[in-house]
Structure 1
Amino acid sequence: MQASKSRQAHFPLHLRKRLLSRAHPITTPRPQPFTARVKMALSVDLKRAKTILVLGGPIVIAMFTQTFINVVDTIFVGKLDPSYATPGQAALGFSLPILWSLAGFLAAIGIGTQAMTARRIGSQKPEEAGVVLTNSIVVAIVGSLIFTVLGWFIVPPFFEFLTRNQNVLNLGIPYAQIRVLGILGMVLTTSYKGFFDGIGSTRVHMYAALVMNAANIGLNYIFIFGWGPIPAMYVTGAAVASLLSTFIGLVMMVVWSLRGKYRKPHRYYRPRTLNPKLMWEIVKLSVPSGAAQLFVMSGVLMFLKIIGMLDETAVEQTLRVSDFYAALPEWMQWQEAIRTATATTGTLFVTDWNFALISGRPPVYTTAAKLVIDLLSIGFVMCIAFGTATATLVSKSMGEKRFDLAEAYGWDSVKIGSYFFGAIGLIIILQPAFFLDLLTDDPQVINAAIPGLRIMAALEIFIAMALILTQALFGAGNTRFVMWIELILHGLCLAPLTYLFGVVLDFGFLGVWLSATIYVMALAVAMAWKFWEGSWKEIEV
């Protein structure tokens, strides 16, 4: 009998199952009705849902308030004089993707830290989780200092590539350079966040983010509009406020880490635990996530660049129908002769004032796109927050070798996110002007933004699926797949289709959102397929 069992143990799995079924025949259950299967597919396990919401609730609040820093900048700048407001909001629209191309790449250290921490907590190794934080902090500091210097010098040429609007350049370059000085604070904060999220203490970053955002609101008022001895700094003041509030948030995270509740069991901050090999493991796990973030932000920048081309096209169309140029084409020749004459060099005569006035048209489309992205970013970040909670649960379940539970958490989180954000999308579709009016007083910008906002709001369900499953795959350690998908979709889909639909086929601003629709749908399908396929269950981190 024992020999028989030994021989069976060497049989392939499917043959062993067949032998067992012969010894113990199993009656095949009758298939459930179609309606019952649909109901099961759409339902959410209440116990798992409670776990997701309890863990994800603080993350949602934290990331919402952290993102609201940028939205607050947009709101305050939008209340300035129109000569500052519209180009200022457009400048913010270009600045933030540049900032997140740099800081977001490094902030992926937080994703690697979270995955490695949660896996060690799941394996009942709290001290090893503390070692991950110590080494993550070193990687974050070194990387941040390098990228701060790099960012300061690349901001001006980046801006000049993205737009030719002089008002936007004058306001945007100083804003972006000041925000770059906050990369160290941003990246170190995400490193701490990754650790605390990984051990399940998601409230820590929530408290820091609430304090940080409250400080940002007060500082924005002081530095943008001026107060007492501090002069009004307008758009630059928004950058100073955001910079200071970023470091306030970091100080909160560091102080929280010194509490004995966390410091004693995890024993971080010990120099002897510094391990170049572990640092390299953090980097290896984080780089694909950072590259994915870089591809996303590069795609957004090209997206905005093409939208800026639509603003320039609007100026050119105005010039073509201008009576000044249409009726008196010789003026163009005279203007060129004056411009190139030695005697008039450096004088006001070389300025084509008619062209200057027309080309000074506010960047309506760029600003409208910025407002749509800002409103959607609130939903984006909340989806990512649900995904971050899911990533912790997935990674922790994998550390416990409970792979089916990890998968169940992923799908339940997708359902919760789809239902919630689908409802929000419906509200936005019905009242888009109400939400846009919170950010700007310019009716021209609001009217331009409404169609795009409605289209993107209709895609909230797919956005939720894509972002939540992206984070779940990060938690499982499958960062390379996400990196390649983002590279392919941004390189071959979003930017090229935006140019095709918006410029080549002359669909204008509506064509921009058509390309975004295709990108969102493709991303959702790719992430859903990969998570369903299940090969991520074999990854070790």
Structure 2
Amino acid sequence: MTTPATRHSIRNIFSIIRQSLNGEEQDYTQGSIRRAVFLLAIPMILELSMESVFAIVDMFFVGKLGPDAIATVGLTESVVAIVYSIAIGLSTGAGAIVARRIGEKNPVAAAHAGAQSLLIAGVCTILISVAGVWLAPEILHFMGGSPAVVQEGAIFTRIIFGGSLVIILLFLINGIFRGAGNAAMAMKSLWIASFTNIILCPIFIHFMGLKGAAMATVIGRTTGVLYQLYHLVTGKGSSLRFTWAHFDIDKPQIAAIFKVAWPATLQFLIGSGSWIFLARLVAETGGTDASAGYQIAIRNMVFFILPAWGLSNAAATLVGQNLGAQQVARAEKSVMLTARYNAVFMGCVMLLFLFGSQFIIRFFTGDAAVQAYGARALRIMGAGYIFYGIGMVMSQALNGAGDTRTPTIINFCCFWLFQIPFAYTMATGAHLRATGAFIAIPVAETMIALIAWYVFSKGKWKTVKV
């Protein structure tokens, strides 16, 4: 029999969930910090969870086409991570500025900053799309793909790079919505995109093979972007409303966005570059079976990392808005509380990977060699999951404050100066081959978490102006 206090707590929980999913306007600069974290984090977690569900479903159906298809998707997405890095970098810069303007109670300036970031995205996309479509076979060859992978996978790579615009816009506009505190709108747009992907993916793969998976992805992203643009133009369900005047070129505003966005883009490019190296190292030292197993393990890692990333994004929004409202102590408390929640969640995932990796990988492939590599990769990489969660919150908190340079320096030192040489030494010098690359991942992520925690505790982020 439940007590009145228990019933009251349950009602409060459902009330918070309902408010977070409805997208009701909230002032995150006052009131309960715990409530603010959950109001932002619930839709952000659901948003990114749906993205990870699609990644898992996509890999499930692609896996039926064999190891070459799995390797093609994995190697392509290792390079397409560059596109995601640009999207996330622009999203981080735009989101930090939008959050500050919202904290200052100036939604018109927030909308103007968001519109100017879309102009930057358009220029970036042209360069990326042309290069990716033109160099698709060379990209797969450079990544260590076998001749069969290069021959059969080039069309997949061309389609994905050709759709770079919708990939960048989907993430960028969601960053704008999150900066404004409207995490529910970002969630809905990504849900629409992912549901469309999930429906089209098996159908297109059945009739068109591997290129069908790429077409389903691009079409799904496009539906999400159309939903976003509708709400930005009409202002329905959001405090932001874009007008044509907001798109008049504003060089000082573009410079301000670029100042925050380019280190954030470089920050994620550094991480992506490291992942590209690791994917190539695994392919070269372990062959197609190791590459396929590694890519399945990565998809499962992403499935659980993205919800944690949602919590981290909540911390970034709370930092930005509270700094804009001159509530520095509240910003700091928000980050520490979010880090605690993330550590608990990621600790549970770590146990799942340590003891259930074989069962998880077996779900995606019946190939015994691929299963062995995948389970080993998932078990080793999962060993550092608690540190992944803490590091993400600390880095995103610094990004949300507009201090995008510090996490960039941390990433450069830990990924390029440590992880890449360490992985190469373990794989070749210690003769551990693909396993050596797996080991380098949790070691480097642990270093990032500890350094980011130390830097955040020093407090210089409190004085950053954007």
**TM-score, normalised with respect to structure 1:** 0.77
What SS does the corresponding residue of 1:431 show, helix, strand or coil? helix
Whole-angstrom CA distance in 2 between matches of 1:154 and 1:534:
44
Q: 1:290 corresponds to which residue?
A: 265
Instruction: Report sequence identity in percent.
Output: 22
Please show how residues 74-89 of structure 1 align to structure 2 within 5 Å: 74-80=59-65, 85-89=66-70
Counterpart amino acid of 1:65?
Answer: M
Contact 2:82–2:269 (CA<8 Å) still a contact in 1? yes
Q: Deviations over 1:287-324 (max 9, x none)?
A: 11111111111111110111112135xxxxxxxxxxxx
Are 2:452 and 1:522 equivalent residues in the alignment? Answer: no
Q: Deviations over 1:366-394 (max 9, x none)?
A: 11111111111122222221111110000
Alignment of 1:27-176 (within 5 A): 47-80=32-65, 85-176=66-157
Aligned residue number for residue 276 of structure 2: 301
CA deviations on 1:70-114 (whole Å, 9 max, x unpaired) are 33221111123xxxx111111111111211213422441111111
Gap change, CA 1:256 and 1:208, over 3 Å in 2: same
Alignment of 1:480 with 2:405, yes or no, is yes
CA distance in 1, matches of 2:263, 2:202: 39
Deviation per residue, 1:502-523 (Å, 9 max, x gap)? 1111123332222112211111
1:415 — aligned with what?
340
1:149-200, Cα deviation, whole Å (9 max, x unpaired): 1222233322212215112212332211110111111111222212211111
Alpha-carbon spacing, 1:266–1:217, altered in 2? closer, same or farther (3 Å): closer
Which of 279, 299, 307 aligns to 1:382? It is 307
Please report how far the alpha carbon of residue 218 of structure 1 lies from its aligned counterpart in structure 2 after TM superposition: 1.7
Q: Secondary structure at the match of 1:90?
A: helix
Query: Could you tell me which residue of structure 1 aligns to residue 463 of structure 2?
Result: 538
Q: Deviations 1:332-389 (Å, cap 9, x if unpaired)?
A: xxxxxxxxxxxxxxxxxxxxxxxxxxxxxxx111111111111111222222211111
Matched residue count: 436
Letter aligned with residue 140 of structure 1? A
Contact 1:403/1:537, CA 8 A, preserved across alignment: yes
Q: Give the match for residue 194 of structure 1.
A: 175
User: Any unmatched runs of 5+ in structure 2?
Assistant: 1-30
Question: Which letter maps to 1:427?
Answer: L
What is the CA-CA distance between 1:203 and the residue it aligns to?
0.7
- SS of the counterpart of 2:431? coil
- Among candidates 366, 374, 392, match of residue 317 of structure 2: 392
What's the counterpart of residue 26 of structure 1?
Answer: none
What displacement does 1:437 show? Answer: 2.3
SS at the partner of 1:258? helix
Distance 1:264 1:466, change over 3 A: closer
Q: Secondary structure of 2:258's match?
A: helix
> Whole-Å Cα distance in 1 between the matches of residues 57 and 133 of structure 2?
23
**Matched residues in 1 for 2:419 and 2:240: separation?**
47
Structure 2 residue aligned with 1:238: 213
Task: List aligned pairs for 1:262-281, cutoff 5 A.
Answer: 266=241, 268-271=243-246, 274-281=249-256
Q: Is the 8 A contact 2:201 2:213 kept in 1?
A: yes
- Structure 2 counterpart of 1:71, one-letter code: I
The partner residue of 1:311 within 283, 286, 308 is 286
Kindly tell me: are residues 133 and 426 of structure 1, through their superposed partners in 2, closer, same or farther at Cα, counting changes over 3 Å?
Answer: same
Q: Name which of 403, 413, 417 aligns with 2:328.
A: 403
1:34 counterpart residue number: none
Question: For the Cα contact (< 8 Å) 1:111–1:475, is it kept in 2?
Answer: yes
Q: TM-score, normalised by structure 2?
A: 0.89
Note the alpha carbon deviations across 1:421-440, whole angstroms, 9 max, x for none. 21122122221122212322
Aligned twin of 2:9: none
* Distance of 1:432 and 1:242 partners within structure 2: 27
CA contact (8 A) 2:293 2:374 kept: yes
TM-superposed deviation, 1:258: 3.3
CA drift at 1:494: 1.6
User: Any gaps of 5 or more consecutive residues in structure 1?
Assistant: 1-45, 227-232, 313-362
